[in-house]
Structure 1
Amino acid sequence: MTSAHTASAAVVPATIGADASAAHPDRSFPRLHPRPSRGWVNDPNGVAFADGRWHVFFQHNAESARHHRIHWGHVSSPDLVRWEEHPVALAPQQGGPDAYGCWTGVVTLDAGTPTAVYSGVADGSGRSQVVLARGTADLGEWVQDGVVAAGMPDDPRVVAVRDPFLFEFAGRRWAVQGAGLATGHAAVLLYGADDLSAWEYHGIWLTSEDPVASELPDANIWECPQLVRSGGSWVAVFSLWREEQLTGVGHLVGSLALDPVTALPVFTPLSSGITDVGGSFYAPQAVQAGERVLMWGWAKEVAASGLRGRTPEDCDAVGWSGLLTFPRELRVEGGAVRLQAAPELAALRAEPLEDTPGTHDGGPQLPLPDQADAVVAGEGTVRLRLGDATVWSGAVAEGEEVRVLVDASIVEVFTSAGAATTLRAYPSGAQSYRLEMGPGVRARAWRLAVPGA
Structure 2
Amino acid sequence: MLAPRPRAHLTAPSGWLNDPNGLIHWRGEYHVFYQYNPFSTSWDVPHWGHAVSTDLVTWRQLPIALRPTPGGPDADGCFSGCMVDDGGDGPLAVYTGVRNSDGGEVQSTCLARATDGLRQLVPHRSNPVVAGPPDAEATEGFRDPFVWREDDGWHQLVGSGSRETGGIVYHYRSADLVDWEYAGVFHRGLASLGDPMDTGVMWECPQLVRSADADVLIVSVHDHLDIGRRKVVGFSGRRVGDGFKESGIDLVDHGSAFYAPAVTVDGVGRTLMWGWIQETQSPAGQAQQGWSGALTLPREVWIDETGGLRSRPVAEAAGLRHRVLLDEHVELGSGNRADVLANAGHAWIELTVDLRHADSVELHVLSDPSGRESTTLSYDRVAAELVLDRSTSTLSPEAITVAERAPLTVHDGVLRLDVIVDGSTIEIFAQDRVALTSRCYPALPESTGVAISAPSGSVAADIKIWELRSVI
Q: Write the mapping of 1:387-406 to structure 2, written as runs, cut at 5 A.
A: 387=367, 388-395=373-380, 397=410, 398-406=413-421
Q: Do the aligned partners of residues 210 and 230 (structure 1) sit closer, same or farther apart at CA in structure 2, a change above 3 Å counting?
A: farther
Matched, 1:257 2:240: yes
CA distance in 1, matches of 2:330, 2:134: 67
CA contact (8 A) 1:174 1:191 kept: yes
Tell me whether 317-326 or 287-296 shows the greater mean CA deviation: 287-296
Aligned amino acid, residue 362 of structure 2: V
1:27 CA displacement: 5.0
Q: Give 4+ residue runs of structure 1 displaced > 4 Å after superposition.
A: 355-360
1:29-61, Cα deviation, whole Å (9 max, x unpaired): 111212233110000000001121100000001
The equivalent position to 1:381 in structure 2, one of 356, 361, 371, is: 361
1:203 CA displacement: 2.4
Tell me whether 245-254 or 85-94 shows the greater mean CA deviation: 245-254
1:300 CA displacement: 0.5
Q: Do the aligned partners of residues 386 and 440 (structure 1) sit closer, same or farther apart at CA in structure 2, a change above 3 Å counting?
A: same
Aligned amino acid, residue 434 of structure 2: A
Q: Which runs of 5+ in 1 are unaligned?
A: 1-24, 259-264, 303-309
Q: Which runs of 5+ in 2 are unaligned?
A: 368-372, 382-409
CA distance in 1, matches of 2:55, 2:2: 27
CA contact (8 A) 2:46 2:79 kept: yes
Tell me whether 235-244 or 138-147 shows the greater mean CA deviation: 138-147
Equivalent residue number for residue 279 of structure 1: 256
Q: Write the mapping of 1:1-20 to structure 2, written as runs, cut at 5 A.
A: none
Equivalent residue number for residue 339 of structure 1: 311
TM-score normalised per structure 1 = 0.85
Equivalent residue number for residue 293 of structure 1: 271
The aligned length equals 414
Equivalent residue number for residue 434 of structure 1: 450
Equivalent residue number for residue 110 of structure 1: 86
The equivalent position to 1:138 in structure 2, one of 101, 117, 135, is: 117
1:77-109, Cα deviation, whole Å (9 max, x unpaired): 111100001110001111111111101000112
The equivalent position to 2:339 in structure 1, one of 365, 369, 375, is: 365
TM-score normalised per structure 2 = 0.82
Equivalent residue number for residue 307 of structure 1: none
1:363-412, Cα deviation, whole Å (9 max, x unpaired): 53332522111111122412233233325322584334111011111000
Equivalent residue number for residue 262 of structure 1: none
Equivalent residue number for residue 194 of structure 1: 175
Matched, 1:412 2:427: yes
Aligned-pair RMSD on alpha carbons? 2.5
The equivalent position to 2:108 in structure 1, one of 114, 122, 129, is: 129
Equivalent residue number for residue 22 of structure 1: none
The secondary structure found in structure 2 opposite 1:126 is strand
Q: Do the aligned partners of residues 242 and 26 (structure 1) sit closer, same or farther apart at CA in structure 2, a change above 3 Å counting?
A: closer
The equivalent position to 1:330 in structure 2, one of 292, 298, 301, is: 301
Matched, 1:446 2:431: no
Q: Do the aligned partners of residues 99 and 376 (structure 1) sit closer, same or farther apart at CA in structure 2, a change above 3 Å counting?
A: same
CA distance in 2, matches of 1:285, 1:79: 19
CA distance in 1, matches of 2:3, 2:137: 48
Aligned amino acid, residue 284 of structure 1: P
CA contact (8 A) 2:3 2:289 kept: no
Equivalent residue number for residue 166 of structure 1: 147
CA contact (8 A) 2:215 2:307 kept: no
CA contact (8 A) 2:235 2:249 kept: yes
Aligned amino acid, residue 85 of structure 1: Q
CA distance in 2, matches of 1:154, 1:228: 25
Tell me whether 348-357 or 200-209 shows the greater mean CA deviation: 348-357
Percent identity at matched positions? 31
CA distance in 2, matches of 1:393, 1:433: 16
- Higher RCO, Cα 8 Å, sep 6+: 2
CA distance in 1, matches of 2:54, 2:257: 27
Equivalent residue number for residue 69 of structure 1: 45
CA distance in 2, matches of 1:83, 1:167: 26
CA distance in 2, matches of 1:317, 1:336: 40
Equivalent residue number for residue 19 of structure 1: none
Aligned amino acid, residue 432 of structure 1: T
Matched, 1:237 2:218: yes
CA contact (8 A) 1:166 1:176 kept: yes
Equivalent residue number for residue 151 of structure 1: 131
CA contact (8 A) 1:381 1:441 kept: no
The secondary structure found in structure 2 opposite 1:138 is coil
Aligned amino acid, residue 136 of structure 2: P
The secondary structure found in structure 1 opposite 2:105 is coil
CA distance in 1, matches of 2:236, 2:202: 19
Tell me whether 362-371 or 268-277 shows the greater mean CA deviation: 362-371
CA contact (8 A) 1:115 1:135 kept: yes
The secondary structure found in structure 1 opposite 2:317 is helix
Q: Write the mapping of 1:16-35 to structure 2, written as runs, cut at 5 A.
A: 28-35=4-11
Tell me whether 427-436 or 65-74 shows the greater mean CA deviation: 427-436
